[in-house]
Amino acid sequence: MIFLQPRTSVPLYVTLLVPVISVLATLIAGGLIFAVLGYAPLPALYEFFIAPLSRPDQFGNLLVKACPLIIIGTGLVFCYRANIWNIGAEGQLIAGAVGAGGLALSFPDTTSVFLLPGMAVCAILSGALWAAIPALCKVWFRTNEILVSLMLTYVAALLIDWIVRGPWRDPMSFGFPLTPYYPDAGLISALHLPFIGRLGQLHWGVPVALLIAVAGYFFLSRMLGGFQVKLMGDAPRAGTFAGFSPNRVTIGVLLASGGLAGLAGMIEVSANIGQLQPNISFGYGFTAIIVAFLARLNPLAVIVAGLVVALAELGGDTAQISMAIPKVVTGIFKGILLFFLLAGETLTRFQPVWVDQTGKFSKKGQKTI
């Protein structure tokens, strides 16, 4: 029989190589899938990972696609480093978009410069309040935050569907489930780069996402609160002996994660859509889970991981147009990538050990079990 034994130490090169090997294994597995489906593997991989960057303006679109993934992924890193498993970022994104949209639609004719910051505050509060439900349920009733946060995602989806079909529906939408457009003061404008001008669909939400990732890294690596988060995740008993509160850390990381997911929802709608509709997200909350693990729970690496996953998303659109590859293949890519990441994480922390029928480890020097 094979058992997994915790490793006493993990070399730095192993920590750095595991994500790289996971991506390479995903590419190999993806090539095999393309071959089974009847597509040439190398041209298909080219359409997925090279063709989306063949034009300069596409790089701006790549950053826009990665923007919500970076913001949500940074928030999820806080949770996962504390060993708190928030799976409901998608619902928190929707809650944030609804909160921000409610403020924007309440002032349809305003030109105030304070509307956009107010929408951001409402989005953060709405996402945090949505995440507070699984946080308080875990602290008060010891419920599983995975199930509660995941189930609330479907509640949020039904909530926005009811809102855009009922009380907030635009009378001039000809029966379609759409709200009125936000006022111009509630829209995030395009970002113009020096000597380049506008690059694709690039907007001001992208630098905000990059700053959030940098701030998250600074918090986890340089501040006492970040030390508490990491200690409660790695050694909760030691954290308790040090005087840290597990309940406070649980509530704090879930509120932070939910608030950032809500902010991502506000940016996504205000920059790219301009109104609420039943589907405002393309699964960013779930995809960001892959981003967080691909980044090895490092907020700075979330930037790179978000770009890689966003590249696969854009590549799926390109391959669908040029080679008629079904869009569902992109989801297969993400699932395979998550599988290899989790397998690599497991083998990084544990080593397989063979145990014979007598109940002894075959490796010399090990105790019997």
- Cα separation of 219 and 82, whole Å? 14
More confident position, 5 or 307? 307
Are 30 and 49 a contacting pair, CB within 8 Å? no
Are 149 and 86 a contacting pair, CB within 8 Å? yes
Q: Provide mean pLDDT across the span 215-228.
A: 95
Which of the listed ranges 2-11, 37-46, 125-134, 315-324 does the model predict with the highest average pLDDT?
A: 125-134
Q: Mark residue 142 as left, alpha or beta (left: phi above 0; alpha: psi -120 to 50; beta: remaining).
A: left
Are 183 and 115 a contacting pair, CB within 8 Å? yes
Are 360 and 16 a contacting pair, CB within 8 Å? no
Angle in degrees, 0-180, between the axes of helices 89-106 and 115-141, rounded to the nearest 10: 140
pLDDT of residue 320: 84
Please tell me whether residue 74 adopts helix, strand or coil conformation.
helix
pLDDT of residue 369: 44
Write the DSSP assignment of 301-321 as a string of letters: HHHHHHHHHHHHHHHHHHHHH
Nearest CA to 89 out of 309, 306, 292, 289 is that of: 289
Q: Provide mean pLDDT across the span 186-212.
A: 89
Are 244 and 78 a contacting pair, CB within 8 Å? no
How much of the chain, in percent, has pLDDT values that exceed 90? Answer: 59
- Cα separation of 31 and 173, whole Å? 44
Q: Alpha-carbon dihedral of residues 161, 166, 168, 169, nearest 10 degrees?
A: 90
- What amino acid occupies position 8? T
Give the side-chain half-sphere CA count within 13 A for 218.
6
Q: Does the structure show a pLDDT above 60 at 81?
A: yes
The owner of tokens 């189930």 is 151
pLDDT of residue 367: 47
Q: Mark residue 325 as left, alpha or beta (left: phi above 0; alpha: psi -120 to 50; beta: remaining).
A: beta
Are 158 and 94 a contacting pair, CB within 8 Å? no
Q: Where are the beta strands (DSSP E) in 110-261?
A: 190-193, 197-203
Q: Provide mean pLDDT across the span 113-142.
A: 97
pLDDT band for position 20 (50/70/90)? confident
Token digits for 128? 């945090």
Mean pLDDT, the chain, rounded, equals 90
Give the range among 57-61, 100-104, 132-136, 153-157 with minimum mean pLDDT: 57-61
The owner of tokens 């507070």 is 132
DSSP label at residue 188: P
Question: Other CB atoms closer than 10 Å to residue 146's CB: what's the count?
Answer: 15
Q: Provide mean pLDDT across the span 21-43.
A: 87
Please tell me whether residue 88 adopts helix, strand or coil conformation.
coil
Q: Using one digit for the tens of pLDDT, what is the confidence trace for 256-283?
A: 999 999 999 999 999 999 999 999 998 9
Q: Does the structure show a pLDDT above 80 at 196?
A: no
More confident position, 334 or 289? 289
Are 186 and 193 a contacting pair, CB within 8 Å? no
- Cα separation of 243 and 254, whole Å? 20
- Cα separation of 36 and 326, whole Å? 14
Q: Using one digit for the tens of pLDDT, what is the confidence trace for 227-251?
A: 999 999 988 998 888 889 999 999 9
pLDDT of residue 360: 59
More confident position, 343 or 289? 289
Q: Using one digit for the tens of pLDDT, what is the confidence trace for 89-121?
A: 999 999 999 999 999 999 999 999 999 999 999
Are 305 and 291 a contacting pair, CB within 8 Å? yes
Q: Provide mean pLDDT across the span 149-172.
A: 96
Q: Give the domains, in start order, of the chain with CATH numbers.
A: 1-39+325-369 (no CATH), 57-310 (1.10.3470)
Q: Does the structure show a pLDDT above 70 at 318?
A: yes
Are 207 and 191 a contacting pair, CB within 8 Å? yes
Q: Provide mean pLDDT across the span 290-307.
A: 92
Are 291 and 306 a contacting pair, CB within 8 Å? yes
